[in-house]
Amino acid sequence: MSRALDSMPMHIVVCIKQVPDSAQIRVHPVTNTIMRQGVPAIINPYDLFALEQALRIKDSADARVTVLSMGPFQAEEALKKCLSYGADDAILVTDKSFAGADTLATTYALAAAIRQLDRQHPVDIVFTGKQTIDGDTAQVGPGIAVRLGWQLLTYVSRLREFDAAAKTITVERRAEGGVQVLESRLPCVITMLEDTNEMRFADMAGMFRAERYEVPRWDRSAAGIEDVSRIGLKGSPTVVAQVFAPKPKDVRAVTIEGETPRDKADRLLDRLFADNPALEATLLDHLETVETAK
Ligand code: FAD
């Protein structure tokens, strides 16, 4: 289908991952993969910021929002919740052959599904959350953009404006030490930062619609994937060598009391020299060398 069909509504895809409630995650002792069975599942909290941003575009422009998830059948619950908030369509990409996917294989499958959606109705923006609370890699958004060959805008905190006809978008991106304002052409992939908006409540009509909606399940071939060596465990070169909680450090912060800054500095030095007897001699040696050089 041609992208020149300006009369068509914009098409926004939001990638939603259902994640185990982080407080109850367990890790398989042998394979070191996350064990999801029996753990309550929630929508990855970062993805709600992405969904709300997509719905705000829909509030102000002619747009359709499709939520997309790759996961087991139970991920349908997450998609239905998104429908109740106002998403128009949902697709669950689900197939045994996707099991054991690392980020490389996950982005392969999601990008393939997005290409299929794009064929049905050209996609203008793909939103993802910045990262998930379980895998936590923040690789999936960028991976999808690279696979599709689309513009990538990461760490987006605000959408300033978009021009559906000119196919451009201007966003604010949180960068170290400031905010970057970036203009990009569409289609693009945006990874949304946390705390950028507040998810709306679902209304009654949305809840009923979500309840009745039959979420299409796309298996491997429906997602347009022929090469099984690129998906699931086969397509996943990542090996999780070990998963462990870092040991808390024994060192505690110490408050140095003193009347004046000079007092405090003297006491700090006394303490440092008491803890490291060689340090005083090394410093004195160094000062002597500096003095002699003058
Ligand atoms: P991030 O890159 O942190 O996510 C960023 C954003 O991408 C999210 O906010 C969301 O918008 C989007 N996103 C991420 N994942 C999805 C998704 N699945 N659907 C839609 N949108 C998404 N996980 C399993 O569920 N089952 C397994 O069997 C499994 N086996 C694994 C084996 C290995 C060796 C490894 C390394 C990982 C395995 N994982 C498995 C975890 C899986 O790779 C990651 O959960 C997945 O690749 C996403 O990475 P992430 O959670 O770090 O996402």
CA of 103 to the centre of ligand 1 (A): 6
Residue whose CA lies nearest to ligand 1 atom number 11: 128
CA of 79 to the centre of ligand 1 (A): 16
Is residue 4 over pLDDT 70?
Answer: no
CA of 258 to the centre of ligand 1 (A): 52
Paired residues of 171 in beta bridges: 159, 182
Confidence of residue 35 (pLDDT cuts 50, 70, 90): confident
Q: 167: exposed, middle or buried (C-beta count within 10 Å: 0-12, 13-18, 19+)?
A: middle
pLDDT, tens digit (0-9, with 9 covering 90-100), for 112-144: 999 999 999 999 999 999 999 988 999 999 999
CA of 259 to the centre of ligand 1 (A): 55
What is the average pLDDT value for the chain, to the nearest integer? 92
CATH topology of domain 10-230: Rossmann fold (3.40.50)
Cα separation, 79 vs 180, whole angstroms: 32
Is residue 33 over pLDDT 80?
Answer: no
Residue 45: its pLDDT value, please? 95
pTM, rounded to two decimals: 0.82
pLDDT, tens digit (0-9, with 9 covering 90-100), for 251-287: 778 888 899 999 999 999 998 889 888 888 888 888 8
Q: Pocket around ligand 1: residues whose beta carbon is below 6 Å from it? A: 15-17, 33, 44, 46-47, 68-71, 99-103, 106, 110, 128-129, 131-132, 134-141, 236, 238, 240
Buried b (16+ CB within 10 A) or exposed e, 86-95: bbbbbbbbbb
| 48 phi/psi in degrees, rounded to 5 | -70, -30
Residues above pLDDT 70, as percent of the chain: 97
Residue whose CA lies nearest to ligand 1 atom number 24: 100
Cα separation, 153 vs 194, whole angstroms: 15
pLDDT, tens digit (0-9, with 9 covering 90-100), for 69-116: 999 999 999 999 999 999 999 999 999 999 999 999 999 999 999 999
Closest CA to 153 of 187, 196, 118, 115: 187
